[in-house]
Structure 1
Amino acid sequence: MIERAMTGAGGAAWPAMSDMHIRALLTAPGTPFEMAEALIGGIATRIWRNAPADLALLARASATHGDRLATIYGDDRVSYAAQYRAITALAAHLRTIGIGKGDRVALAMRNLPEWPVAFFAIVGIGAICVPLNAWWSPAELAFGIADSGAQLAIVDGERHARIGEGTVPMLVARPTGPVAAPAQLLEAVIGACADWSALPEAALPDVAILPDDPAAIFYTSGTTGRPKGALGTHRNLATNILSSAYNTTRTMLRRGEMPPPAPEPKTGLLVIPFFHVTACSAVLMGMMASGGTMVLMRKWDAGEALALIERERVQATGGVPTIAWQLLDHPDRARYDLSSLETISYGGAPSAPDLVWRLHESFGVMPGNGWGMTETMATVTQHSAEDYLARPTSCGPPVPVADLKVMDVDGAGELPVGEVGELWVRGPMIVAGYWQRLEETAATFIDGWVRTGDLARLDDEGFCYIVDRAKDIIIRGGENIYSIEVEDVLYAHPAVTDAAVIGRPHRVLGEEPVAVVHLSPGCHVEAAELQVFVGERLAGFKVPVEVRFSDTVLPRNANGKILKGELRGWFAVG
């Protein structure tokens, strides 16, 4: 741990209040963060009493933000009033074409103002939104549509071209080429962004939606190589609104500041994709509730991000450590006025402890971190400001409605404080299970707890430290890469008889995939050819950045499992 002296507001000793005192104060009866108990799947679970009961209510409430800007994308500046008109217009169209409660609608596009409109139009009528990774290959996108049973896909022009005709009917935003039936222009239904304010004033239809009804299916790669759909509920996503607000209030009290009576709308630069639960659940839900403004980018570029921070007076940004490093290291950083920045938060990938202090010292911002996963619809722990500076290797304590425990690896018993084991989590943010995967659901979700597959320890104050991953996963700049998925593609090459994909540490990306292969006798293939072979079948971020060849079969243990630890020494740090 990095030891440094900490002070709070006005140079006062930090922390001004203990965590236990703050929790008792903030969650007392009659407060905004009051907790209650609900039966979820037959199990008594702590919940936020004041969280929206469903996402249709959240969408309706967002209209009260009126002329405040909801999204900024280039020259498009969309107010909350205009956004709600577009949501209701699209919702009415979906019902007209036969989409109803429980039906699945795929959503595949870049971070565009149309994305939150489509999401809330879908969930606002009780249908299930299926956000698909916009970086996926045509085959991966087709799998997500087929596996979810989506009846319709709402896509941007690039995804329309990638998916092709004949899969499902599509609504296409910002097309890049001709759009032929059964596809239809989204603009023909709701108009372009600039036209949304002129749409008729309407309301979302009255649909009976319960808090634990399904709202979204977010795909996460599985260790079998097939993506699994995590079935998130309205309660799951709404929980993040109060979890994030609680953390903000707690942080102020810890340093001796008085929090405002209501959340203050902030302007944030969103650089992580909406199709990740972090952006959709942890960011979008809170922005809709508070009236914050999301500045969107077509694609990540650190130089453009610095210019947007200056131009739009951005107060918060982040996503994964990659983004923080690139902002820090950009050669033109000093040219921009970044004085509006208050926080840079990230998670989703390994990060160096010194990143915390570099952000604080270079930008004058308070850093933030947290832990969650697709199966928890994002936020479980949150770590920010002085707490994070004091414990830079921790991902923070759990939010009050969540519980953590560390179990031995076979799940037979709970381990004492300080010991490393598998992290188990429970709370109202835990998804209902995997879409149409009964066996995998039963193995992962047990009596309200989710087995995370992460190895962790807890300290005596409840702060969590992720020390390793039990699952064979590589996290490259926030994107999950399951090695078996890439290995299966390598094995499909006729020259390859043995293959292993591992993560090599990378200062900016956290990790990057590299591979070791053994070829069949008499075969020869260049590393670049194997990279092209993988790239033709999987998303680009999954392609190994380096391929090395072994003259012998790869080392294995007595059970036949490849000893990847021995292979890591083949690669220098990136």
Structure 2
Amino acid sequence: MNDIAARLNTATEQLCQPGAPFEIETRQCGDTELRFYKNAPNTLRALLEPGRGFGAQEFLVYQDQRLSFDDFFARADALAYYLVSELNINKGDRIAIAMRNNPEWMIAYYAIVSIGAVVVPLNSWGSADELAYGLGDSMAKWVVCDQARYDTITAAPSELACQVILVGATGSAEYLSFDAIINAHLGAAMPEVDCESDDIAQIMYTSGTTGRPKGAVSSHGNICQAIFSFEFHGTCSAMANPEAIRKMFSTGFAPCTLLSVPLFHVSGCYAAFLLNLRAGRKTVMMYKWSAEDALALIEKERVTIFSAVPSMVVDLLRHPKFKTTDTTSLFSIGGGGTACPPSFKSTISENLGDAYVGTGYGMTETNAICASCTGDAYFYKPKSAGTLSPLVEWQTRSPEGGILAKGEVGEIWLKSACNITAYWNKPEATAENFAHGWMATGDIGYLDDENFVFLVDRAKDLIIRGGENIYPAEIEACLSQHAAIADSAIIAVPDERLGETPGAVIRIRDGATLSETEVKDYLADKLAAFKQPSHVWFVEEELPRNATGKVLKRDLVQRFVK
């Protein structure tokens, strides 16, 4: 076993043994047994309560606003008080949040889950129809939204079935004012509400690339175990990378996270917001992504941690101003939400060679938990998504449902206390994807003999050319290493003889030129002949993506495949 793998194993054993902070225990849950962190709180309110102890310390920086932990909790308590005492919100009532990243999003989230209501974070990028669908499907009683989302929602042809609390506006007959509620009730105490681990805390809609999104139902226990899993990984990685951690502390910069991904997704909500609120770390939040703005914030606020989808990390490090910006505080770099291309590692090595780099694998349905790696583990196996969480059990299955041996490629099934409990209002989808504690991920991959996870592709992206399986991610990874290619996506093109063949949609870097012949010549000695794209299309604009950074391939198929 490699030294870094051995160090991770030793750290895991020490952290998870009886009496240790991350002690593991097994509990019977229905017809299966699951592993739990024994010391994890049972509810989100209890999980986040330690944040109150940081008082006047700075918690949130957003544009010209600066909130301390005291400021944040006072506002959340005021909103929670109003929801219970004036709006008669009961445990289990659904309250949606529909807005771009801002402090009110965080305040509303904490207040809602703390009173036993169910928070429904909606995709702020959604159309009127998509937002109306989420509100209707979840049967939300209220929605907390900003002006742009309010305008979008009320523009929908169907009548709005829930009531509105509007951020940044005075009250009217059509809505309540968020700001007025807070100002009128500052100083109120958070109401006491009985809440249990199995109670529903959240319905988070999947960022689907096809069809309607599904509401992923998470209990308080699911999310608490997930947050503890993040904390376990951070502690385990620190123990396995002592030199890197010593270097970080020697800089004298206090931990500070740049939050640039949407709060309505697990990566932004959990890995930045909830972890920082609980642990007393400062968060610098962006309204929307801009590499230039991000560099300015890193320099001004002395940001130490930046984690985003790989394309955003690459944008930051390749920006013309990166070399002239003071990024000496920036220590930890992470890429997640989608597979890290080879250019991710090479770009970091070229521009921030001594960074503490990490990546991971999880999804909305696993509350972001499955595998992760940071530091030496990342450089040991940079194509891996990391080692399994101690809570997670793994199976790789064949198309016929058989369980495959380690190292064999198949569909990934996971069993974990972090997995969601069901899809909201979709019993057929729940039955299809969940069985005896196991969940079908729809991802293709394998687990090696050192418990490192490797992802090959999405099952739905698989292209079958004359009986040969082609995984688009493999071709996209090759294309990402071409100096003239900024982005690419491989889609299926129908073929009368072969069934389907791969087609490449490519965005060329500014100032570069590239032809179809040059693309095919470039791939000729890198891929087998049957994997070569039969069609190549070039685009000038950014490829269409969802909120997690995944390319919307259905949009490309509709545009290019006739």
Q: TM-score, normalised by structure 1?
A: 0.78
Partner residue, 1:572: none
CA shift, 1:98, in A, is: 1.9
1:173 aligns with 2:167: yes
- Provide the residue aligned with 1:187 in structure 2: 179
Match of 1:255 among 232, 238, 241: 241
Which runs of at least 4 in structure 1 moved beyond 6 Å after TM superposition? 473-476, 499-503, 505-508
- 8 Å Cα contact 1:59/1:288 also seen in 2: yes
Instruction: Report the Cα distance in structure 2 between the residues aligned to 1:59 and 1:436, rounded to whole angstroms.
Output: 29
- Aligned: 1:34 with 2:23: yes
Cα offset for 1:546?
A: 8.4
Give the Cα separation in 1 of the matches to 2:209 and 2:291.
33
Deviation by residue 1:533-561 (Cα, 9 ceiling, x = unmatched)? x99xxx998584686566xxx6xxxxxxx
Query: For the structure 1 residues 389 and 115, does the alpha-carbon distance in structure 2 shift closer, same or farther, using more than 3 Å as the test?
Result: same
Are the counterparts in 2 of residues 108 and 153 from structure 1 also a CA contact under 8 Å? Answer: yes
8 Å CA contact retained: 1:397, 1:463: yes
Cα contact 1:241–1:289 (8 A) shared by 2: no
Q: Indicate yes or no: 2:113 matched with 1:113.
A: no
What's 1:313 paired with? 302
Distance 1:393 1:373, change over 3 A: same
> Alignment partner of 1:150: what SS?
coil
| Residue equivalent to 1:442 | 431
Higher mean C-alpha displacement, 31-40 vs 314-323: 31-40
Query: Offset of 1:18 from its aligned partner?
Result: 2.9
| TM alignment of 1:131-170, pairs within 5 A | 131-164=121-154, 167=160, 168-170=162-164
Residue 230 of structure 2 corresponds to residue 244 of structure 1: yes
Q: Quick check: 1:58–1:288 contact (8 Å CA) kept in 2?
A: no
Alpha-carbon deviation of 1:249?
Answer: 2.0
Choose 139-148 or 155-164, whichever is displaced more: 155-164
Query: Structure 2 CA distance, aligned partners of 1:141 and 1:125?
Result: 24
Structure 1, 386-395 or 219-228: larger mean CA deviation: 219-228
1:180 maps to amino acid:
S
| CA apart distance, 1:66 | 0.7
Structure 2 residue aligned with 1:199: 186
Distance 1:425 1:394 in 2: 17
Take 2:271 and 2:507, find their aligned partners in 1: how far apart are those partners? 26
Are the counterparts in 2 of residues 356 and 388 from structure 1 also a CA contact under 8 Å? no
Mapped to 2, the partners of 1:81 and 1:451 lie a distance apart of 42
The worse-fitting range, judged by mean Cα deviation, of 443-452 and 263-272 is 263-272
- Distance in 2 of aligned mates of 1:386 and 1:459: 17
Superposition deviation, residue 284 in structure 1: 2.1
Provide the rounded CA distance (Å) in 1 between the counterparts of 2:193 and 2:504.
Answer: 46
CA-CA distance at 1:221 after TM superposition: 5.0
1:346 aligns with 335
Q: How many Å apart are 1:500 and its aligned residue?
A: 12
Structure-1 residue corresponding to 2:289: 300
2:412, 2:440 within 8 Å by CA — same for their partners in 1? yes
1:43 paired residue number:
32
Q: What amino acid does structure 1 have at the position aligned with 2:396?
A: V
Deviation of 1:61 (Å): 2.4
SS at match of 1:405: strand
* Structure 1 counterpart SS, 2:299: helix
Q: Deviations over 1:312-364 (max 9, x none)?
A: 11010121011111011101111111011111111111222342243144123
Distance 1:57 1:462, change over 3 A: same
Per the alignment, do residues 430 and 504 of structure 1 end up closer, same or farther by CA in structure 2, a change over 3 Å counting?
farther
Contact 1:237 1:285 in 2 (8 A): no
Work out whether residues 359 and 366 of structure 1, in 8 Å CA contact, stay in contact via their aligned partners in 2: no
- Write the letter of the residue equivalent to 2:308: G
Gaps of 5+ in 1: 1-12, 485-498, 509-526, 555-574
Note the 1:472-487 alignment, pairs <5 A. 472=461
- Partner amino acid, structure 2, of 1:250: C
| Counterpart code for 1:289 | R
- Note the alpha carbon deviations across 1:279-321, whole angstroms, 9 max, x for none: 1123322112211111111110000000100111101012101
- 1:240–1:285: 8 Å Cα contact kept in structure 2? no
The answer (yes or no) to whether the contact 2:83–2:89 under 8 Å persists in 1 is: yes
**Structure 2 segments unaligned to the other structure (5+ residues):** 463-471, 477-488, 493-499, 510-536
Contact 1:267 1:294 in 2 (8 A): yes
Question: Is structure 2 residue 222 aligned with structure 1 residue 233?
Answer: no
CA shift, 1:410, in A, is: 2.9
Q: Which of 337, 350, 362 is matched with 1:372 structurally?
A: 362
Greater Cα offset, 151-160 or 204-213: 204-213
Q: CA deviation at 1:116?
A: 1.2
79, 101, 110: which is aligned to 2:91? 101
Partner of 2:534: none
Q: Is 1:334–2:326 an aligned residue pair?
A: no
Residue 501 of structure 1 and its aligned partner are, at CA, apart by 12
* Cα RMSD after superposing both structures: 3.4
CA 1:265–1:118 in 2, change beyond 3 Å: closer, same or farther?
Answer: farther
Deviation at 1:99, TM superposition (A): 1.3
Q: Secondary structure at the match of 2:223?
A: helix
Quote the offset at 1:159 in angstroms: 0.7
Corresponding residue of 1:517: none
Give the superposition deviation at 1:88: 1.0
1:290 is aligned to 2:279:
yes
SS of residue paired to 2:274? helix
Report deviation, 1:185.
Answer: 1.1
Percentage of pairs with the same residue: 36
Q: Measure the CA separation in 2 of the matches of 1:507 and 1:283.
A: 33
* Corresponding residue SS for 1:143: helix
Instruction: Give the deviation of 1:29 after TM superposition.
Output: 1.6
* Letter of the structure 2 residue corresponding to residue 199 of structure 1: L
| Count of residue pairs the alignment pairs up | 486
Is the partner of 2:408 in helix, strand or coil?
coil
SS of the residue corresponding to residue 456 of structure 2 reads strand
1:436-475 equivalences under 5 Å are 436-472=425-461
The CA deviation string for residues 487-510 of structure 1, in whole angstroms up to 9 with x for no partner, is xxxxxxxxxxxx9998846699xx
8 Å Cα contact 2:171-2:180 kept in structure 1: no
Aligned-partner residue type, residue 436 of structure 1: N
Q: Give the conservation status (yes or no) of the 8 Å contact 1:172–1:183.
A: yes
Q: Do the aligned residues in 1 keep the contact of 2:5 with 2:377 (CA within 8 Å)?
A: no
The AA in structure 2 aligned to 1:275 is F
Change (3 A) 1:231 1:507: farther
2:76 — aligned with what? 87
1:58 offset after TM fit, Å? 2.7
Q: Are the equivalent residues in 2 in contact too, given 1:434–1:440 (CA < 8 A)?
A: yes
Instruction: Assess if the C-alpha contact under 8 Å between 1:60 and 1:204 holds in 2.
Output: no
Change (3 A) 1:250 1:65: same
2-structure distance, mates of 1:83, 1:210: 24
Please say if 1:128 is aligned against 2:118. yes
Distance 1:381 1:136, change over 3 A: same
2:205 partner letter:
Y
Measure the CA separation in 2 of the matches of 1:259 and 1:407.
38
C-alpha distance in 1 between matches for 2:172 and 2:416: 46
Shift of 1:85: 0.9
- 1:130 alignment partner AA: V
Partner of 1:393: 383
User: 2: CA distance between counterparts of 1:332 and 1:407?
Assistant: 47
**Pick from 411, 415, 419: which aligns with 2:404?**
415
Tell me which moved more, 15-24 or 154-163: 15-24
CA contact (8 A) 1:418 1:460 kept: yes
Post-superposition CA distance 1:415-446 (Å, at most 9, x none): 01111001011111100010011111011011
Secondary structure at the counterpart of residue 417 of structure 1? coil
